[in-house]
Amino acid sequence: MVFKYSNSNKRYHTLDYHYKKLFNEKIIKVSLNAGFSCPHLKSGGCIYCSKIGSGEYAGDIKDDLVTQFNKVKKVMNKKWPTGKYIGYFQARTNTYAPLNVLKEKYETILKIDNVIGLAIATRPDSITDECLEYLSELNKRTYLTIELGLQTIHEKTAKLINRGHDLKCFTKMVKKLREKNIDVVVHIINGLPFETKEMMIETVKYLNDLDIQGIKIHMLQILKDTKLEKLYQEAPFKLLTKEEYIEIVCEQLQYLNDEIVIHRLTGDPKPEDLIAPNWVIKKIDVLNGIDKYMAKNDIIQGQKVEKN
């Protein structure tokens, strides 16, 4: 069967389909490191976060933003010479700066030829009212997506990983962004310490009841020189196997409305930084495993969503 929001064999709403439906051409996201910090660092930061703030594949911070962008564009042009681009502000918290700084960085990328929008990764506790008004204005003249880190709805887990904000804060920011008609993509992590499969599914069910437009699902990665690595070495906790992860993701997809775009179903850490689990390095194996599991069990996105 062909899923209605896919242009391939996928049984979920693919990002490639979403972009081609909107723009009728290939869209390429260019990951950038704008040199932002994080408001949570003074409290120790999230225990899983790497030194470069989840920006392992973002541009080189030693380069200015235009240089970062052009380096990626040069490579991508060989494969997609007529593609259009989205500037992806990825590393750390990309709304954590004075408004004039944010404007300078965002507008610099928007001035580049064939850039049709921005994706901005941030925290729900790091968008001021002043910033929100600017994002609203930006949203009226370019394609804008705000990516909010949540990771889990469970407060006990959030405290363990030192997330630094509660669920109420996250939910409030989603509603504020949607009131401005700004698209929201949410990041969650499967396999967080001591969470059960049921808890992970509850996180997705909660998000499905909010007005979100996309989701990124990650497997917990234990990276070198993080507080999570220390916790794992001192008191090892169970990590999901590849098979368990695939089963959980496929179950989660069934509880997501089929109009929600699936931006990511697994992460891809740098092998030299990874402590565990080793199977996450082979990203294509995980994605293929998800496709096979969904086909074998006749699963499609949204099939367990209660229809009104």
5 found inside a domain: no
Rounded Cα distance, 292 and 295, in Å: 5
8 found inside a domain: no
Q: Is 81 a residue whose pLDDT tops 90?
A: no
6 found inside a domain: no
Of 155-159, 175-179, 200-204, least confident by mean pLDDT is 155-159
244 found inside a domain: yes
pTM of the model: 0.94
203 found inside a domain: yes
pLDDT at 26: 92
Report pLDDT digits (tens) over 141-174: 999 999 999 999 999 999 988 888 999 999 999 9
Report pLDDT digits (tens) over 261-278: 999 999 888 899 999 999
Rounded Cα distance, 145 and 135, in Å: 10
Number of structural domains in the chain: 1
**Residue 26's domain is classified under what CATH number?**
3.20.20.70
Q: Is 245 a residue whose pLDDT tops 90?
A: yes
For residue 145, the enclosing domain spans 15-296
4 found inside a domain: no
Q: Is 48 a residue whose pLDDT tops 80?
A: yes
pLDDT at 43: 73
248 found inside a domain: yes
Report pLDDT digits (tens) over 106-119: 999 999 999 999 99
Q: Please check whether residue 133 is in contact with residue 103, taking contact to mean a CB–CB distance below 8 angstroms.
A: no
3 found inside a domain: no
Beta carbons within 10 angstroms of residue 183's beta carbon: 19
